[in-house]
Every structure is written in structure tokens, then in C-alpha cells.
């Protein structure tokens, strides 16, 4: 029997069976994750094979299908390196705002490079447009255009006034979408407008969870329509942590790639090296200064972490 993991408590899982029903499943034996030392072998979003146990509505996970992608964070356990937050994500929605509060480019670009590293497509969602004056709206269009040129789509909306909701719903349809964004940008408001009966939908799954057990470190997937899911990652505003070797950082900026290939040194970090084509492109206005600033700032952080 096949199923999809909707919720993890660390020791057992809520699984949606292919025929629609819910199961409570646990693991049998040891699962090995290639390469990574993980504190949790099964993650929300995993497609699994199950065997029913004697008890009604209870099963054992015997196999995990290959993941299309996954996001991780550092494990709190000393013996493991990483903890998988969720897997098989079709789309990451990064909710941003230009006012109240203003999301920094540094935050946006960090999110984008992490998503690049994880191979997760991102759509930027500019919320609170009801608060924007004419100048801010013009500025927003410039920002959207900049990201569009690099290859990132964006949408504008106002969760408060219900503007842009149909477009968002269409984009979410039949996908597993991760909702992220800085505190206060309106994620909860947005989800409540998009899925007014979400509480009802989650009750069915909550009924499978022990009362009083709060698993804030684990992600949860909410079914918001047929084959349509939202992933909520409590307490995680960014896409987890990945260790990116400095030489690979530039490659996570898609607009750097064609220029990087032409740099004189193949280990060029694009800071002050002679014959650096990325620097030339920045000077010629072919790469946005904002993005290059983000690049340098992330590079410096990497320096400080070592
Ligand atoms: N004017 C305006 N206010 C909004 C809009 N969307 C959300 N807000 C307000 O912004 C504030 C923050 O919204 P939340 O939905 O709690 O934000 P959040 O991203 O879930 O924040 P965290 O729970 O801290 O991560 C609330 O006061 C909302 O009413 C919008 O489109 N326009
Ligand atoms: Zn270079």
C-alpha cells in the first residue's frame, strides 16, 4: 500500500493512503539515508510504502520513495548532522512586503539561493499592496522586473482586501507548496483567506495526534484541496541551513552563471580578482547591484562562520 506522510511527531507519522483514508504509521527497523546522517528518516511530504498491522488504522512504513527534493535544518541531536523538515516540495512561496514591515533584499536573496541549492522553484508574493502609495507601487514594479529578469516569478496581493487571491489559488492547485516569509508579512492572514475552513481540515489529522504533545520542530502538511497541500514549518522563517562552499555560492545566483564561466580563474570568488567577468557585469549594469551586495554579504557571513 502507498501513502503520503502528512505529519511527523518524531516517533510516528500520519499518512494519507492512496484511497483517501488516514493511517497512523511507525517505522520498522533502521532506515539509511544516503550520505547524510539524519535524525529523522521519514519527513513530511515523503511517499511511502506501508504494511497494515493488526490494529485498525495502524501501519508500518517499509519503504521511502526517492525524494525529488528536501529541506533540512541542523539537528538538535549531537549524533546526527541534519533533520529533514519536508520533502517533495513543488513550490516555495516567499511572502514579502515593501512596507510594514519591509522585507530586506538580503533576506529575499538568502531564501532564493537556499531554494536554488535545494532545487525548489520560488514565487515571490508581494503582500499588503493596499498599503502602498503610488511611489511604492512603482518601486514594486521595478523590484518585480529585476527578479523576473533573473527568472523568478512574482505575484502581488492584499490578504486584507482579498486582492489577487484567485491567481494564488490557481498557482497552488495540485502542488505541494511551502509558505515562508518574515514575521508580520501576513502569512497567517493569507492562509486564512485562501483556506477559510483550514481548521476543519486539520481537525481530522489532529484527531490522530496525541493531545498536549506539541511538536513545534516538525513540519506539517495541510490538505487544502484535491492533491493540493500547504506546508507549514513552525518557527522556521528561512529554508533551513545549507553549508555552501564559497566557490559554489556564485552558481546559486542564476544571473551570475553565464559570466562566471568566463572568469579568468576557475576558483574566482568575484570580489576583486583580475579578469572577473561577474565584476565587469556588475559595473556594466548587467547584474543588479542589490543582488551583488547580497552575494558579498552572504560570502562574508560564510567567512565569519568558519
Ligand atoms: N494592510 C494590510 N495588512 C495585512 C495584510 N495581510 C496581513 N496584514 C496584517 O499584518 C499583520 C501580520 O499578519 P500575520 O498574518 O499575523 O503575519 P504572519 O506572517 O503570519 O506573521 P508571523 O505569525 O509572526 O509569522 C496583521 O496585523 C495582519 O492583519 C494586508 O494585505 N494588508
Ligand atoms: Zn569572477
Residue 132 gets the label, from left (phi > 0), alpha (psi -120 to 50) or beta, of beta
Which one, of 299, 189, 195, 193, lies nearest residue 250 by Cα? 299
Euclidean distance between CA atoms 116 and 122, whole angstroms: 9
Per the prediction, the chain carries an average pLDDT of: 86
Q: How far is CA 108 from the centre of its chain?
A: 12
pLDDT at position 91 over 90: yes
Q: Which helix (H) or strand (E) holds 137?
A: helix 134-150
Other residues' Cβ atoms within 10 Å of the Cβ of residue 194: 19
Euclidean distance between CA atoms 148 and 137, whole angstroms: 16
Contacts of 167 (CB under 8 A, 6+ apart): 155, 157
- What 3-state class would DSSP assign to 205? helix
pLDDT band (50, 70, 90) for residue 138? very high
What b-and-e string marks burial along 38-73, b requiring 16 or more CB atoms within 10 Å of the CB?
bbbebbbbbbbebeeeeeeeebbbeebeebebbbbb
Q: Residue with the nearest Cα to atom 10 of ligand 1?
A: 186
Mean pLDDT of 125-144: 97
Which one, of 4, 3, 15, 70, lies nearest residue 40 by Cα? 70
pLDDT tens by residue, 94-111 = 999 999 899 999 999 999
- What 3-state class would DSSP assign to 31? coil
pTM of the model: 0.88
Over the Cα atoms of the chain, what is R_g? 21
Mean pLDDT of 210-232: 72
Q: Residue with the nearest Cα to atom 2 of ligand 1?
A: 128
Domains of the chain: 2-87 (2.40.50.140), 91-194 (3.40.50.300), 246-305 (1.10.40.50)
Kindly give the number of the ligand 1 atom that is closest to the alpha carbon of 159.
31
Length of the chain: 306
- Can you state the angle between helices 134-150 and 289-305, rounded to 10 degrees? 70
Q: Residue with the nearest Cα to atom 22 of ligand 1?
A: 183
**In testing the pocket of ligand 1, which one of 189, 191, 238 has its CB within 8 Å of the most ligand atoms?**
189
Distance 129 CA to ligand 1 centre (A): 12
Mean pLDDT of 145-171: 97
Q: Tell which wins on pLDDT, 240 or 69.
A: 69
pLDDT tens by residue, 67-81 = 999 888 765 555 556
Kindly give the number of the ligand 1 atom that is closest to the alpha carbon of 131.
1
User: Could you report how far apart the first and last alpha carbons of the chain are, in Å?
Assistant: 46
Is there an atom of ligand 1 within 6 Å of 262 CB? no
Is there an atom of ligand 1 within 6 Å of 181 CB? yes
pLDDT at position 212 over 70: no
Distance 118 CA to ligand 2 centre (A): 23
Looking at the CA of 125, which ligand is closest?
1
pLDDT tens by residue, 179-209 = 888 889 998 899 889 988 776 666 666 666 6
Contact 33, 41 (CB under 8 A): yes
Most distant CA atoms of the chain, gap in Å? 69
Distance 270 CA to ligand 2 centre (A): 4
Q: Tell which wins on pLDDT, 172 or 218.
A: 172
Amino acid at each position: 500500500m502507498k501513502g503520503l506522510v502528512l505529519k511527523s511527531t518524531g516517533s510516528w507519522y500520519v499518512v494519507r493512503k492512496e484511497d483517501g483514508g488516514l493511517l497512523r504509521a511507525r517505522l520498522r527497523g533502521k532506515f539509511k539515508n544516503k550520505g547524510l546522517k539524519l535524525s529523522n528518516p521519514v519527513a513530511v511530504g515523503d511517499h511511502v510504502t506501508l504494511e497494515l498491522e493488526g490494529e485498525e488504522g495502524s501501519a508500518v512504513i517499509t519503504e521511502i520513495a526517492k525524494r525529488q527534493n528536501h529541506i533540512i535544518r541542523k539537528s538538535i541531536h549531537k549524533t546526527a548532522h541534519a533533520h529533514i523538515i519536508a520533502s517533495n516540495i513543488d513550490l516555495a512561496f516567499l511572502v514579502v512586503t515593501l512596507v510594514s514591515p519591509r522585507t530586506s533584499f538580503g533576506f529575499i536573496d538568502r531564501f532564493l539561493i537556499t531554494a536554488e541549492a535545494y532545487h525548489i522553484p520560488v514565487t515571490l508574493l508581494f503582500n499588503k499592496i493596499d498599503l502602498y502609495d503610488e511611489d511604492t507601487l512603482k518601486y514594486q514594479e521595478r523590484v518585480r522586473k529585476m527578479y523576473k529578469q533573473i527568472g523568478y516569478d512574482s505575484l502581488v496581493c492584499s490578504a486584507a482586501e482579498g486582492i489577487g487571491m484567485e491567481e494564488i489559488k490557481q498557482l497552488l492547485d495540485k502542488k505541494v507548496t511551502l509558505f515562508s516569509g518574515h514575521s508580520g508579512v501576513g502569512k497567517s492572514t493569507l492562509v486564512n483567506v485562501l483556506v477559510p475552513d483550514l481548521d476543519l481540515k486539520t481537525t481530522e489529522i489532529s484527531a490522530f495526534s496525541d493531545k498536549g504533545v506539541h511538536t513545534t520542530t516538525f513540519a506539517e502538511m495541510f490538505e487544502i484541496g484535491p492533491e493540493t497541500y500547504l506546508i507549514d514549518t513552525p518557527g522556521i522563517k528561512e529554508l533551513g541551513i545549507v553549508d555552501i562552499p564559497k566557490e559554489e555560492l556564485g552558481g546559486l545566483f542564476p544571473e551570475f552563471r553565464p559570466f562566471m564561466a568566463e572568469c579568468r580563474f576557475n576558483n574566482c570568488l568575484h570580489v576583486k580578482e583580475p579578469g572577473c567577468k561577474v565584476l565587469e557585469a556588475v559595473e556594466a549594469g548587467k547584474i543588479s547591484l542589490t543582488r551583488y551586495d547580497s552575494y558579498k554579504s552572504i560570502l562574508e557571513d560564510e567567512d565569519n562562520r568558519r
